[in-house]
Structure 1
């Protein structure tokens, strides 16, 4: 059946036809919701609410815009309601870096932390926009978005990631093109102030496939051997180590090295590479009580061929986002 056939059938109450229609847009809608909300789980909840609202509203869809644009309107409206009540942070937002590796603070509960995005949810199916779409789910960019008011966040994404014109974005947000342009200027300035580092897509391109593989092999090997000097050789001088939901984080090779030596390598680890946030990711397990257990989902940030950010998400439940409760055997 064609899209028009499915649309006609769905308007008449055919749920299977509706399922075929929305399946074509599911991944890109999930990615849009993630950019808005900073959490794959919140994004999935927002998608389900979007699909329910779309199903109920489909009889009134008059086709004056494409179905894709209409779905983005519904999804953006859902995300705006959620984004206004759910801030998403990283450890540096909770306070300055620490030097005392003995005190990591108590885990901060609740939906307050930015979460990693599995690579298979990145909507890069269109080769013409794949590079930009991957940049737009990088950890630093999504973190910067969370500092924007919800409407500015939506405007920036609609205009610069999804490519809608000011007039189209205004229609999606029920506002004026002038308001959209004003919000876009403020959002651009704010995000630029939060993201001084280069994009990870550019860093990975400079490394090339062979360079990337070599860096990952060296990092994983040094980590699994608990070889702190070898790890430090791979880090920039100003490296950051963050680990929500713990508020503690460390900055600089000296403090990060001490944290690795005194705390991280108190137990053995094994690591499995996996794409996370369109960047180098690692699913990490710790050995304890006679077995391997989920430890963290880690994203490596790069600058000039070295690691300048180890973003470890230490909630073991996050491993389920990657289709497993543990990293599994290698």
Structure 2
């Protein structure tokens, strides 16, 4: 049965990640669903996939009984004024966390699913009540029928359709990102970042680009705000090195400072420019993305 369960891991992890906003919690939820499946699955109940989603949904709903929801910095307050202090960091459970593409995306269906793991979309889902969230993901992302969704949630088709309508109305709109990002843009970004070339780096940003640094609620909006902060600081990231990876359907980089793991940087690109930069100041994320904890280790890995 282990092989049968593993065949559903990526799809289930993606579902639980959208529900919970954390890759760590999503993997815990999937593992718990697998344990329950070992104990309870009976082929007479129907297909294994449906039973696993039923179990995973129940696990997620149990985990979401707390009052707080995960968010991005942009959901928590207005943009900071350049020069403002970072403030106090918030605990990990307040943030929508990044997830490696490979853990949640089906390579055969990337074009359909990439948008649905973007940080903005996952953060928007957290505004919905948990059962509405489940309905919207099952119906609009995973393309389950209303009847299948009703059976999974032990409710009626009418209730599912009503929940879906309310969820769609509450879900904030988000701008689409470029499906294919220009490798030349990324190369110029990396070169400018590593050399702390502020003029070139800022020229690659959209005029309304956002920049944030979890676990701080501090964030910026606008190319000129980013320029002011970069020029006004004491070049704290000068000499950094970036190693590429993928996160939330977007290009991402492990940032190494003084040779050591420092931050995970995710870029959102639209219209050939960077529209969002999210820098997770958490080296603990590096192993999740298969990134070594030192830049020398990264060089050895690349060879």
| TM above 0.5 | yes
Match in the other structure for 2:72: 90
Q: TM-score, normalised by structure 2?
A: 0.92
Deviation at 1:29, TM superposition (A): 1.0
For 1:261, which of 220, 223, 231 is the aligned residue?
231
For 1:177, which of 140, 147, 157 is the aligned residue?
157
Match in the other structure for 1:4: none
Q: Distance in 2 between matches of 1:261 and 1:49?
A: 48
SS in 1 for 2:150: helix
Q: In the TM superposition, what are the counterparts of 1:183-262 in structure 2 within 5 Å?
A: 183-191=163-171, 193-195=172-174, 197-198=175-176, 200=177, 203-205=178-180, 212-262=182-232
**Runs of 5+ in structure 2 lacking a partner?**
none
Size of the aligned set, in residue pairs, is 295
- 2:22 matches 1:39: yes
- 2:100 matches 1:130: no
Q: Distance in 2 between matches of 1:97 and 1:244?
A: 14
Q: In the TM superposition, what are the counterparts of 1:40-119 in structure 2 within 5 Å?
A: 40-58=23-41, 61-85=42-66, 87-119=69-101
- Give CA-to-partner distance per residue, 1:269-320, whole Å, 9 cap, x none: 1111111111111111112xxxx22221111111211111111111221112
Deviation at 1:24, TM superposition (A): 0.9
8 Å contact kept, 1:297–1:313? yes
Match in the other structure for 1:11: none
Match in the other structure for 1:14: none
SS in 1 for 2:287: helix
- Give CA-to-partner distance per residue, 1:240-272, whole Å, 9 cap, x none: 001111110011112111222334832321111
Deviation at 1:204, TM superposition (A): 2.8
8 Å contact kept, 1:274–1:283? yes
Deviation at 1:327, TM superposition (A): 5.9
Match in the other structure for 2:253: 282
Q: Distance in 2 between matches of 1:142 and 1:264?
A: 34
Structure 1 runs, 4 residues or longer, greater than 6 Å off: none
For 1:320, which of 284, 287, 290 is the aligned residue?
287
Q: Distance in 1 between matches of 2:184 and 2:198?
A: 18
Deviation at 1:107, TM superposition (A): 1.0
8 Å contact kept, 1:271–1:327? no
8 Å contact kept, 1:222–1:230? yes
- Give CA-to-partner distance per residue, 1:64-107, whole Å, 9 cap, x none: 43111110111111111112325111111221111143500111
8 Å contact kept, 1:317–1:325? no
Q: Distance in 2 between matches of 1:171 and 1:92?
A: 36
8 Å contact kept, 2:255–2:265? yes
Deviation at 1:109, TM superposition (A): 1.6
8 Å contact kept, 1:118–1:321? yes
Q: Distance in 2 between matches of 1:98 and 1:180?
A: 40
8 Å contact kept, 1:25–1:68? yes
**Runs of 5+ in structure 1 lacking a partner?**
1-17
- Give CA-to-partner distance per residue, 1:11-33, whole Å, 9 cap, x none: xxxxxxx2112011111111111
8 Å contact kept, 2:10–2:106? no
Considering only aligned residues, what root-mean-square deviation do their CA atoms show, in Å?
A: 1.7
- Give CA-to-partner distance per residue, 1:12-62, whole Å, 9 cap, x none: xxxxxx21120111111111111111111001111121111111112xx24
SS in 2 for 1:273: strand
Match in the other structure for 2:128: 148
SS in 2 for 1:275: strand
